């Protein structure tokens, strides 16, 4: 099964919509609740990263018998230093984004913690791709 969503940079109103849809689908498929929780946390963080930092993005979800693979691709500024971005507590979010309670520097670490595998590809000035994989068993 394949699902696709688009994300608009700066649009906090709709942040969480893809996560919510994926959660519904996984529930219908009777996937283990703990795995659904992990997937939802990781996808929500990836969505917020696009909303907070990029201009636009797409979420491509692929669900098969034993795993879910999610690719979040954005057009945005890219990440100059991945190691630093992966460090809990490090954030480049704007002050207004931080005042909303985002930008605590926990996004990428939360993604890593809640996925079985994670890949990050980025090019400064172009954008970032985050691929997340969770096995169902």
Partner 1 sequence: MKVFELVEELGLKVFSGHKGLDREISGGYVSDLLSDVMGNAQEAQVWITLQVHQNVMAIASLKDLAAVILVSNLEPQENTKQNSDEENIPILGTSLPAFEIAGKIYQAFNR
Q: Rule CB under 8 A: which of 45-64 touch partner 1?
A: 45, 48
Residues 6+ apart with CB under 8 A from 122: 78, 79, 82, 128, 129
Contact flag: residue 73 with partner 1 (CB under 8 A): no
Q: Verify binding: residue 23, partner 1, rule CB under 8 A.
A: yes
Region binding partner 1 by CB under 8 A among candidate stretches 3-11, 18-26, 72-80, 118-126: 18-26
15 near partner 1, rule: CB under 8 A: yes
| Residue 3 in the binding site for partner 1 (CB under 8 A) | no
| Residue owning tokens 């009777």 | 30
16 binds partner 1 per the rule CB under 8 A: yes
Selection from 54, 58, 71, 59 nearest residue 123 by Cα: 54
Contact 30, 82 (CB under 8 A): no
Task: Give one DSSP letter per residue of 12-29, joined into a string.
Answer: GGGTTHHHHHHHHHHHHT
Give least dist CB 79 to partner 1, A: 17
- Give the Cβ contact number of residue 30 at 10 Å: 9
Q: Which residues bind partner 1 (CB under 8 A)?
A: 12-13, 15-16, 19-20, 23, 37, 40-41, 44-45, 48, 100-102, 104, 106-107, 110, 113-114
């Amino acid at each position: 099964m394949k699902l696709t969503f688009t994300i608009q940079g700066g649009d906090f109103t709709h942040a969480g919509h893809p996560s919510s849809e994926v959660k519904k689908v996984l529930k219908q498929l009777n996937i283990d609740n703990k795995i659904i929780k992990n997937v939802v946390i990781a996808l929500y963080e990836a969505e917020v990263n696009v909303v907070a930092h990029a201009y636009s993005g797409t979420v491509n979800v692929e669900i098969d018998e034993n795993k879910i693979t999610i690719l979040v691709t954005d057009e945005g500024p890219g990440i100059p230093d991945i190691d630093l971005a992966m460090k809990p507590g490090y954030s480049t979010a704007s002050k207004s984004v931080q005042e909303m309670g985002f930008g605590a520097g926990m996004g990428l670490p939360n993604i890593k913690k809640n996925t079985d595998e994670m890949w990050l590809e980025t090019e400064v000035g172009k954008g970032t791709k985050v691929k997340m994989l969770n096995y169902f068993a």
